Structure 1
Amino acid sequence: MVELPYQRKPLARGKLIGRCTVSCISVLLSQFALSLIPRFFSASPLLIQVALSALVLLVFVVLGRWCRRLLGVHASAPAFVFFNVLFVWALYFAVIRRAVSLVMDIVFSGEVTMLIIGLCSIIASNPGLVTCGSSCANELVESLDAEVEAHNEVVETSASGLCHESLTKGSTLGRRIKYCRSCKAYIEGFDHHCPAFGNCIGQNNHALFMVLLAGFLATEASYVVCSSQFAAKSQIIDRTTLETSLSGNLAISTMLFSILQLMWQVVFMSWHIYCICFNIRTDEWINWKKYPEFQHVIESQPGQSFSKVRFRNPYDKGILENVKEFLALEEK
């Protein structure tokens, strides 16, 4: 019998400190590596510099996985995100702030402050952990046993035996409880496990997740504007590589880093807006063949020896109703 975990178990303090230290070192190394691009490729077009920045970050990801597998050195993804935000903010105060207007300074500092608060909130948030009584727990444990025997395949439990207090007869999200292998818990309204925030995205924190994505977009766009103003006033772009200081190179490299983040997060947020509009979860879209309610079986025609299975979304009520449901505006 597998024990049913109801909440995430925090890491030991020593292990947590060690992972945060590795993350901080990784941020410093990656940011200073990115500063080599404007130093040696300042004459290259912006698009080339952005592509080179992406290549450098990809190399660091590969090296990080190599260190984790061979050396047993682990980093914390949430700590990596947090230290990157702090690094960019510190560079802004030390170098870029003097070239920015007072209004833009207040806006950017306010955005970063709210971003840090949002990061802490979503890391500590409850995504919708299912906590049931003994009879319901036994059913979920049996489902988890079956999942382990099936090589950890994701399964969806039926709504009839669930006794979580938030489940209602008319609730669509209440029938969408899935198991997260990373958190080892059942999550109500499970969308996906977000490594960057170290938490699942579920019914209780999905809206916070979307607000945080919008916050990242706004903050990074503001930083691109601020660093561009600094580069224009300092005339860094017109100088040769040897004339540019380390602080100037870091200002350009962090701008390239923010552009990359913007490009990725625009795609990521667009995908989640699409999912909200059509009332589908990321996990359901990727693993729809594991969930029977998303399978539409087309019977084989005469002369064919097999049937076709196509995707269908039984939760789609139309864009307006789907958005209302996400915002919890529908009548209870």
Structure 2
Amino acid sequence: MVEPAEEFPLHQNPKWKKHSIASCFVSLISVFVTQFTFTLLPLFLPGSSFLTLLPLSAVLLLIVVGFGRICKKVAGVRASAPAFVFLTVFFIWVVYLTVIRRAISSFVDVVFNIEIIVVIVGLYRIMSLDPGFVTHNSSGHDLFVQSPLSEVESQGEVFAAHRRAKYCKYCKKYVLGFDHHCPAFGNCIGQRNHVFFIVLLVGFVLSEASYVGCASQFTAKSQTLNEDGREEITTSRNLVLGTMLFCLIQVLWQVVFILWHVYCACSNIKTDEWINWEKYPEFKDKVISHAGQEHSGTQFTNPYDKGIVTNLKEFLTAK
């Protein structure tokens, strides 16, 4: 029998607890160190092409992240991942407003600022939205905790949906349609916010791609202006190139992440179920030999797959 979820009023839920000032300060330092490190690449490799700097920046990012984790572990402090994301967005926005904006047309400027504001609002919303927490007074809670899938399905689709609730060790709650716990947003991704999560990722990709486009215009113009050797333009250009490399790396992995979640929606499966399918009996199918005899092994099967159209309809209309 699974342990019942611990009750938390919404305002007392762990994800609502304020991060300590120390954690936010560590996040602020991490943002500056990361962005400063990216700025060093075009500074020390001024003759390298952008395509050459891109893989180097990806390797550099892994080194910085790994080294940062070691330092924070040794020092006994931890950063706030949501604060890091917010501060990074804010840092990029400040670089745009103070350096890049003067080289951008008014229309593009308005569009980009709207994109950033929408992303910031979306960050707040994804951190505050209920992903689908199940409480003890929720309909069918005791049934889905204690009953096998066959008994749950016999009671209707509502209880079948409850059967897919999983326990999150970070939020200390059962979450309907649990996909994963997102440390970057400080919240679970479940039945009630999964669509919004994908929309927010698309917003990130659009805003970061827009920044890369705006930064490219600035670097092209600054290259022309820099023929007289003004150092302040060279410094600004290196800063813009560093942030552009960072944003492009984010775009590349976020696009892959979006495609993965679209695939999951089309297949009606969650990330947690895909990774840990051997933990859940409904995803196990006994292997049968050609002679008609069952083997001891099992293979993956998805009992929730109802076809792409039906799967997407259920995903988009989930409440």
Alpha-carbon distance between aligned partners in 2 of 1:293 and 1:51, rounded to the nearest angstrom: 42
Give the structure 1 partner of residue 7 of structure 2.
6
1:303–1:130 CA distance, 2 compared to 1 (3 A): closer
Shift of 1:9: 2.1
1:296–1:44 CA distance, 2 compared to 1 (3 A): same
1:37–1:240 CA distance, 2 compared to 1 (3 A): farther
Shift of 1:84: 0.4
Superposed CA deviations along residues 57-78 of structure 1, whole A, max 9, x for unmatched, are 1112112221233221100111
Superposed CA deviations along residues 220-273 of structure 1, whole A, max 9, x for unmatched, are 110011000101111179879995532221111111111101100110001011
1:305–1:190 CA distance, 2 compared to 1 (3 A): closer
Shift of 1:118: 0.2
Alpha-carbon distance between aligned partners in 1 of 2:287 and 2:225, rounded to the nearest angstrom: 60
Alpha-carbon distance between aligned partners in 1 of 2:44 and 2:228, rounded to the nearest angstrom: 9
Decide which of 48, 65, 74 is 2:52's aligned counterpart.
48
Decide which of 303, 307, 311 is 1:318's aligned counterpart.
307
1:138–1:69 CA distance, 2 compared to 1 (3 A): farther
Give the structure 1 partner of residue 75 of structure 2.
71
AA paired with 1:101? S
Identity of aligned residues (%): 49
Shift of 1:323: 0.8
Paired residues in the alignment total 311
The SS at the match of 2:260 is: helix
* 2:286 equivalent to 1:293: no
Q: Give 1 or 2: higher helix fraction.
A: 2
TM-score (norm 2): 0.87
Question: Does the 8 Å contact 2:5/2:167 carry over to 1?
Answer: no
Decide which of 255, 259, 265 is 1:270's aligned counterpart.
259
Q: Which residues in structure 2 correspond to 1:1-332 (within 5 Å)?
A: 4-7=5-8, 8-9=13-14, 13=18, 16-133=20-137, 169-171=156-158, 173-235=161-223, 243=231, 245-300=234-289, 306-328=295-317
Question: Does the 8 Å contact 2:134/2:141 carry over to 1?
Answer: no
TM-score (norm 1): 0.84
Alpha-carbon distance between aligned partners in 2 of 1:65 and 1:54, rounded to the nearest angstrom: 17
Mind listing any 5+ residue stretches in structure 2 that lack a counterpart? none
Alpha-carbon distance between aligned partners in 1 of 2:148 and 2:191, rounded to the nearest angstrom: 16
Alpha-carbon distance between aligned partners in 2 of 1:134 and 1:41, rounded to the nearest angstrom: 59
1:236–1:115 CA distance, 2 compared to 1 (3 A): farther
Shift of 1:157: 7.3
The SS at the match of 1:43 is: coil
Shift of 1:10: 5.0
1:317–1:10 CA distance, 2 compared to 1 (3 A): closer
Give the structure 2 partner of residue 148 of structure 1.
none
AA paired with 2:90? L
